[in-house]
Amino acid sequence: MRRVMTTPSRIRIVTGVILFIGFLLIVRLYYVQMVQGDTYQEKARKQYVYTSQDIFDRGTIYYTTKDGEKVGAASMKSGYVLAVNPTMITDAAAIYEKLSTILPLDREEFIRKATLPNRTYVEIEPQVAEDKAPAIEALDEDGVQLYRTQWRYYPGHEVGARSIGFIGYGDEGTIERGKYGLEYAYDDVLYRDDTEMSVNFFAEIFSNLGNLVFDTEGQKHGDIVTTIEPTVARMLDRVLIDTQAKYNSALTGGIIMDPQTGEIRALNAVPTYDPNNRADASIELFQNPLVENVYEMGSIIKALTMAAGLDSKVITPESTYYDSGFLELNTFTIKNFDGKGRGTVDMQEVLNQSLNTGVAHIVGLMGHKRFREYFTNLKLGSESGIDVPNEATGLVANLESPREVEYATASFGQGIAMTPIATVRALSTLGNGGHLITPHLVKEIEYADGTKKEITYPDGAQVFTPETSETVSRMLATVVDEALRGGKVALPHHTIAAKTGTAQISDPSGGYYDDRYLHSFFGYFPAYDPQFIVFLYTVEPKGVEYASETLTEPFMDLTTFLINYYNIPPDR
């Protein structure tokens, strides 16, 4: 027997369907109005201002303040394109005089464009700010046109420019794509398809959600949140600029990072550029030398050699050796920086006085194989995994040599070369308990659909024991307390573990220059539970020989700033 549905049952079903549809409508309206309100407003502008092309759009790159607030590092700025229709202009000079009171325009170029024959559209200024548009419209000049547009804007200007990067025309023609830095590395996330939206609101509610979140290939769009702290980044830039100017160096760079997690608070090099105005910038300025260039780092590498010796138990801080001032290895002579011997000294003095013979002695005790294993485990010849493009690998082939002299020179940072970022990763093991971390600039992706993805970076290998980390940190803190500038720069309430490095720059024709140096400086603090590691280097400073002379004040300026800015409590 066929069951017949009663009228009340039908009513309940219909009511349920209506309620369900109503619920979907409310959810979708909430999404349209709240989650995607800004996007729809911009799309609306496109519908009624532009008729021939879409307004360019792209996801935002954010800095993150120490309090967790997001601040734009790369965003979209709304404004207008100023164009003219030469067929409607009868007095170009008169129009120029009026416009020039509102915008800085080149008179000769304006008149040339405004009088081009057989042209109905010629762009004069592609980026006119919102507040200038009313004054231009008030002129009410025939042939003067304003079209709404958007463009990429970098509020920080030079701050972190070598890491943030910029966008430019892609292979597709006029589509803007990331070219350098994070703009390039996360281009697939930041890029937004210019697909037109339907003007039918209700059809859009039910049918077009995907167009806002995914491109035609299914890539999810969104914004990226970096670990860069804008105030810290500005401070680093100021210190780099001052150092560069003082010593007329070829290049000066720096990194400020959390050695426990690999989160980078600031990373830049000068000279640099403003990504908002790149007309006079060279390709070299767009590249990131902290990631793409390798250098022989000099004596900061002695700290890693000392840690390897301690960890392998061939030395203790109290171990001694006789320093005659030089060593003869494979017909080569290795000398201390001043050529002088100190007699019988302990390992603390090797760091205090930066003795080349001392770290070469440690390598001799360890043997080639064991020394090579430590430096290989520190990944000095590998990429660090940092999330910006074009990372170079280190040059450590000398660690495969059968000759003793290659290992001796490697122990004090000559004959092997690595990127600054790989160097900082290795040096972080000295203070963080002995494990490798992954340096990174991005911590989160915020997708257009309201979801978020936290980017995780697992720890790497345990290279040194925690006991070794603590011991070498104590030794490096003693360097600051007693040896660096005679202990005059030590802070009374905070321990700092640090080491300077001075390396001769290699001559492409062979050997090393006698008068060209790379100065480096690293330090972390508080020494036994560091929140920051600071790395600085300057290439070919003029009129000075040692890194202790060029980089001590810049390092201490940054250290004092970070301690005060983050209110780091005293540890002694």
CA distances 519 to 98, 241, 552, Å, are 55, 16, 11
Q: Which amino acid is at 43?
A: K
Which residues of the chain register pLDDT less than 70? 1-55, 170-175, 193-218
Q: What pLDDT is recorded for position 448?
A: 87
Question: Could you say which DSSP state residue 200 is in?
Answer: -
Query: Helices (DSSP H) in 61-175: which residue ranges?
Result: 92-99, 107-114, 133-139, 161-164
Distance CA(371)–CA(495), nearest Å, equals: 29
Burial of 284 (0-12, 13-18, 19+ CB in 10 A): exposed
Contact 372, 427 (CB under 8 A): no
SS3 for 550-567 is HCHHHHHHHHHHHHHHCC
Q: What pLDDT is recorded for position 16?
A: 61
Q: What pLDDT is recorded for position 516?
A: 93
Q: What pLDDT is recorded for position 287?
A: 93
Distance CA(136)–CA(96), nearest Å, equals: 11
- Please state whether beta strands 61-64 and 264-270 pair in parallel, antiparallel, or not at all (unpaired): unpaired
Q: What pLDDT is recorded for position 220?
A: 82
Nearest to 243 by CA among 558, 562, 494, 568: 558
Q: DSSP letters along 283-325, please?
A: HHHHS-HHHH--B--GGGGHHHHHHHHHHTTS--TT-EEEE-S
